[in-house]
Amino acid sequence: MSGPALSLRGLVLRFGGLLAVNDLTMEVPRGGIVGLIGPNGAGKTSVFNVVTGFYKPASGYVEFSPQEGPARKITGLPPHEICRAGLARTFQNIRLFGNATAVENVMAGAYVREKSRWWMNILPLFPSAMREEREIRESAAAMLERLGLEKYMDAAASSLPYGAQRRLEIARALSTKPSFLLLDEPAAGMNPQESAELLTFIRNLRDEFSLSILLIEHDMKVVMGVCEHIWVLDQGSLIANGKPDEIKKDPRVIEAYLGKEAANA
Which of 78, 115, 101 has its CA nearest to residue 164?
Answer: 101
Q: Figure out which of the listed residues 28, 35, 37, 45 binds another protein, where binding follows CB under 8 A.
A: 45
Coil, strand, or helix at residue 94?
coil
User: What values do phi and psi take at 234, rounded to 5?
Assistant: -140, 125
Neighbour order of strands in the sheet with 33-37: 87-89, 180-184, 212-216, 33-37, 229-234, 237-242
Q: Which is nearer to another protein, 75 or 241 (CB)?
A: 75
Q: How far is the CB of 170 from another protein (least distance, A)?
A: 12
Residue 178 CA to residue 185 CA, distance in Å, equals 19
User: Would you say 215 and 34 are in contact if contact means Cβ atoms under 8 Å apart?
Assistant: yes
17 versus 118: smaller Cβ distance to another protein: 118
Kindly report the length of the chain: 265
Give CA torsion, residues 254, 166, 55, 98, to 10 deg: -150
Give strand pairing partners of 213.
33, 181
Nearer to another protein, 72 or 113 (CB): 113
Which residues in 74-133 contact another protein (CB under 8 A)?
A: 78-80, 83-84, 88-89, 91, 95-100, 104-105, 107-114, 118, 121-123, 133
x/- track of binding to another protein for residues 155-174 (CB under 8 A): -----------------xx-
- Judged by beta carbon, residue 118 or residue 191, the one nearer another protein is 118
Number of residues that bind another protein (CB under 8 A): 38
What is the Cβ-side half-sphere exposure of residue 217, based on CA atoms within 13 angstroms?
Answer: 26
Return the number of the residue (110 or 256) whose C-beta is nearest another protein. Answer: 110
Among 65, 75, 165, 176, binds another protein (CB under 8 A): 176
Number of Cβ atoms within 10 Å of the Cβ of 249: 9
What does the per-residue mask of binding to another protein show for 203-222, with x meaning CB under 8 A? --------------------
Shortest Å distance, C-beta 109 to another protein: 5
Shortest Å, Cβ 46 to another protein: 9
C-beta separation of 186 from 205 below 8 A: no
Q: How far apart are CA 227 and CA 202, in angstroms?
A: 10
CB of 224 to another protein, least distance (A): 28
> What type of residue sits at position 133?
E
Nearer to another protein, 176 or 212 (CB): 176
Judged by the rule CB under 8 A, the positions of this chain that interact with another protein are 45, 49, 52-54, 78-80, 83-84, 88-89, 91, 95-100, 104-105, 107-114, 118, 121-123, 133, 136, 172-173, 176
